[in-house]
Amino acid sequence: MAEPQIEAFLRYTVEGLVDHPSAVTVSGRWETVTRCCYRVEVHPEDVGKVIGKQGQTITALRNLIQSAAERIGQEAVLDLVEDGGRRP
């Protein structure tokens, strides 16, 4: 299981950025003993809002979670995925 504080931070932050907060899903899985990959799924209309101008928003999110993970001796990676309209 991934770090619950990082997942909660990502969920809170991304939900504040998008128009469809109910479509936000955050999950984390360990790739190695020290590396966790966080997957953030958003509504297709909200992908641009999470990426931001020239990728500044997603870069900032990636830097923040990597910094938080480094404080506990881990490494974190963030993947952004459209949820593909699975939800109404």
Does residue 87 form part of some domain?
no
Q: Output DSSP code: residue 38.
A: E
Q: Is residue 63 part of a domain?
A: yes
Q: Is residue 34 part of a domain?
A: yes
Q: What digits encode the pLDDT tens for the residues 4-23?
A: 888 999 999 999 999 999 99
Residue span of the structural domain in which 26 resides: 4-82
Supply the pTM of this predicted model.
0.84
Nearest to 26 by CA among 2, 59, 44: 2
Q: What CATH number did the domain enclosing 30 receive? A: 3.30.300.20
Residue 21 lies in a domain: yes
Domain count, the chain: 1
**36-50 confidence digits (pLDDT tens):** 999 999 999 999 999
Give the list of residues 6+ apart from residue 78 with CB closer than 8 angstroms, or none. 10, 37, 38, 40, 58, 61, 62, 65
